[in-house]
């Protein structure tokens, strides 16, 4: 598929914050092994104090790094494996690529390939329950308001922990000794009549902000995007629930705080849309434990999820 170099590894921020962040993270990295159980926030606080540690963590753009379950080792692994923060680590030169026309065509190709191999797709179905029925399993699905039943000898559930918990399968206690949690995500897209940020040198760059916008992406002359997690995502969810007028007023105010507009107002927003994921990132809560790649129910059902991967429990 047509593709290009992902541009958002080049981060800009005010007052040399990125260089300061990089210097701080590199200077503290040798001490990580001395604090295997401490959270990342406690680790940085130990050396810099609580207020400075919180400021440093906010400068990464990821609120999740403040969570008690994120150890210092986990945090460094997360930072070096995200394009927006890798420049603060030894991975600064890593190159990422993306599909310039989006990933819809890739999904279509994969579906056609699977169908050619005999896979049947039944879309817009929601699994309601699974019952043991002799040697088989009886699955109940909701499809356009109707309940449909499906009998199967073998069942593999590729659904996240929050969806598993909504089924009648006693998740997680019947499946695993581990506990699970999730983080919300929020993305907001804005378009403008003119590419006013081009003259600021922000085209195809990402601006880190300490306010609730956190990470602001400027995609060529097409749109502006902000992407948040955890507490900042909840802030924007609450803003949307209070109405579009309040949401857009907060977006404008925080953009004017973060951008070098020299006192000028933000140009009028032409159009916008947003997406909130209540369970945007799922993970298990024992980050140092060796989690199996798949779980097996006593009835023989197999469950797998990206929440079970060994990537620092995420």
In tens, the pLDDT along 99-151 reads 988 899 999 999 999 999 999 999 999 999 999 999 999 999 999 999 999 99
pLDDT in tens, 65-75: 999 988 898 89
Q: Is the pLDDT of residue 271 over 70?
A: yes
> Residue 312, exposed/middle/buried by CB under 10 A (0-12, 13-18, 19+)?
middle
Q: Is the pLDDT of residue 314 over 70?
A: no
Q: Is the pLDDT of residue 313 over 50?
A: no
CA gap 245, 239 in Å, rounded? 9
Q: What is the mean pLDDT of the chain?
A: 91
pLDDT in tens, 161-216: 999 999 999 999 999 999 999 999 999 999 999 889 888 889 999 998 889 999 99
Q: Which tokens in the block code for residue 68?
A: 């008690």
Q: Is the pLDDT of residue 312 over 90?
A: no
Residue 308: its pLDDT value, please?
Answer: 85
Where in the chain are the domains? 3-98, 122-179+285-308, 181-282
Dihedral sign of CA atoms 105, 7, 203, 227 in order: positive
- The pTM (predicted TM-score) of the whole model is 0.89
* CATH number corresponding to 122-179+285-308: 3.50.50.60
pLDDT in tens, 243-258: 999 999 999 999 999 9
Answer yes or no: are the C-beta atoms of 128 and 147 closer than 8 Å.
yes
Q: What is the DSSP secondary structure assignment for residue 311, as one 8-state letter?
A: S
Q: Which tokens in the block code for residue 82?
A: 């995200």
Percent of the chain residues topping a pLDDT of 90: 68
CA gap 67, 57 in Å, rounded? 11
CA gap 108, 106 in Å, rounded? 5
Residue 311: its pLDDT value, please?
Answer: 61
Q: Which tokens in the block code for residue 6?
A: 């992902």
Q: What is the DSSP secondary structure assignment for residue 265, as one 8-state letter?
A: P
Q: Tokens 């604090």, residue?
A: 35
Dihedral sign of CA atoms 23, 310, 64, 158 in order: positive
Output the CA torsion 188→309→278→100 (10° steps): 20
Answer yes or no: are the C-beta atoms of 188 and 251 closer than 8 Å.
yes
Q: Which tokens in the block code for residue 239?
A: 């803003």
Read off the pLDDT band of 310 (50, 70, 90): low
Packing angle between helix 40-48 and helix 50-59, nearest 10 degrees? Answer: 130
* CATH number corresponding to 181-282: 3.90.660.10
Answer yes or no: are the C-beta atoms of 284 and 307 closer than 8 Å.
yes
């Amino acid at each position: 598929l047509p593709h290009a170099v992902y541009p958002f590894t080049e981060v800009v921020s005010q007052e040399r914050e990125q260089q300061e962040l990089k210097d701080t993270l590199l200077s503290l990295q040798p001490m990580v092994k001395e604090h295997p159980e401490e959270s990342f926030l406690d680790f940085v606080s130990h050396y810099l104090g609580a207020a400075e540690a919180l400021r440093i963590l906010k400068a990464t753009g990821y609120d999740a790094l403040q969570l008690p379950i994120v150890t210092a080792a986990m945090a460094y692994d997360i930072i070096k494996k995200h394009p927006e923060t890798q420049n603060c680590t030894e991975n600064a030169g890593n190159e990422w690529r993306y599909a310039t026309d989006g990933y819809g065509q890739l999904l279509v190709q994969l579906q056609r390939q699977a169908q050619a191999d005999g896979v049947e797709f039944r879309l817009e179905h929601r699994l309601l329950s699974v019952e043991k029925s002799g040697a088989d399993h009886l699955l109940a699905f909701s499809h356009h308001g109707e309940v449909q039943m499906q009998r199967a000898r073998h069942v593999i559930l590729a659904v996240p922990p929050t969806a598993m918990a909504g089924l009648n399968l006693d998740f997680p206690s019947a499946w695993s000794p581990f506990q699970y949690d999730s983080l919300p995500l929020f993305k907001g897209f804005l378009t403008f009549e003119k590419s006013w940020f081009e003259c600021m040198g922000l085209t195809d760059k990402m601006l880190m902000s300490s306010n609730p916008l956190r990470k602001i992406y400027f995609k060529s002359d097409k749109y502006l995007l902000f992407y948040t997690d955890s507490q900042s995502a909840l802030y924007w969810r609450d803003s949307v629930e209070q109405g579009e007028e309040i949401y857009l007023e907060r977006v404008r105010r925080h953009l004017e705080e973060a951008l070098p507009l020299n006192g000028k107002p933000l140009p009028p927003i032409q159009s916008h849309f947003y997406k909130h994921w209540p369970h945007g990132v799922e993970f298990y809560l024992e980050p140092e434990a060796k989690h199996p790649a798949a779980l097996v129910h006593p009835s023989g059902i197999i469950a797998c999820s990206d929440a079970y991967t060994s990537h620092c429990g995420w």
